Amino acid sequence: MARGIKKKIQQAVRKLSYRTTVDQLKKKGINRVNVVGIDRISALIETAVHRTLKARMALGFNPNLTHGEIANETRAEFLRLLRNKESLKKVQEETEEEKESLKSQVASLQNELQTLQREIEEKRQRFVREERVRTAAEDQELVLAVQELLGQAKLGAKGLDIQEELLSLFLGRLDEERKRVRAQKELELRKEVDLLNRRLQKVTKTLDHTEGRLQEALTGVTEDLGVSSIYKEVQGLSSQDPEFKKKKTLMTSIFEANLELQQKDS
């Protein structure tokens, strides 16, 4: 049954459409067109009719409602559905693009981080290696200089003790200074790595969020859209209502009681 209706809708839509070619459109100055499949149109019409009838039935059947009014409501529902589909597709495409862009950002940052970490490690090792060689040479030079200086002073047997004390003092101070410089350099390196780690975490979080949005768009769980009301405007009591006066009085009483209550509230 439902299949038959769908087929009839498709036939009707096809009958109402006209055939044209790309060249003919170009001649009219049209270079870009929006294209929608006939299946989608018929599905939207079907949904619009069902939703309108469902909403009507929920409010109780109104025998005063004309065919024209029902047709208008259905048309409005159809347009709303069409807009929903369009915005959903747009969100989907945007999210896909955003996701791809973020993915590449993450990959590039991960590469950057790895390269930097590798470089930093190499630098640190080289620095340690070179420092070891340099400090050994400097220490040797210092020892020789001290020995030479004390040799010239001709201090005799006492000279060896003084030489040892002096060397121990010099080398101790030198070592402390070297440690301070090394710590400072390591701190700078660590800051650089931390900064990169933070950037990476941020991008990864954004990627997770985007993937969530994409999933929502794909499954159609875009709760934000909600379900459209059948009313475009505020309604109010119809003057055609057989009990208009009585109902108007009741509405006024309810309003006044609420106004009093809410004024007390404020």
Residues of the shown chain interacting with other proteins in the complex, contacts defined by CB under 8 A: 13-14, 17, 20, 22, 33-39, 41, 51, 54-55, 58-60, 79, 82-83, 86-87, 223-237, 241, 243, 246-255, 257-259, 261-262, 264-265
Give exposure, 2-26, as e/b (b: 16+ Cβ within 10 Å): eeeeeeebbeeeeeeeeeeeeeeee
Q: How far is the CB of 51 from other proteins (least distance, A)?
A: 6
* CB closer to other proteins out of 87 and 115: 87
Q: How far is the CB of 59 from other proteins (least distance, A)?
A: 7
Q: Are 9 and 45 in contact (CB under 8 A)?
A: yes
CA 182 centroid distance within chain? 41
- How far is CA 228 from each of CA 45, 73, 79, 231, 264, rounded to the nearest angstrom? 15, 11, 11, 8, 34
* CB closer to other proteins out of 44 and 102: 44
Q: Are 182 and 131 in contact (CB under 8 A)?
A: yes
For residue 139, count other CB atoms closer than 10 A to its CB: 15
Q: How far is the CB of 106 from other proteins (least distance, A)?
A: 26
Q: How far is the CB of 66 from other proteins (least distance, A)?
A: 18
Widest CA span in the chain: 132
* CB closer to other proteins out of 40 and 134: 40
* CB closer to other proteins out of 51 and 213: 51
Q: How far is the CB of 120 from other proteins (least distance, A)?
A: 37
* CB closer to other proteins out of 145 and 250: 250
* CB closer to other proteins out of 152 and 235: 235
User: Could you report how far apart the first and last alpha carbons of the chain are, in Å?
Assistant: 58
At residue 26, φ and ψ (nearest 5 deg) are: -60, -40
Q: How far is the CB of 184 from other proteins (least distance, A)?
A: 42
Residue in the block written with tokens 């047709």: 71
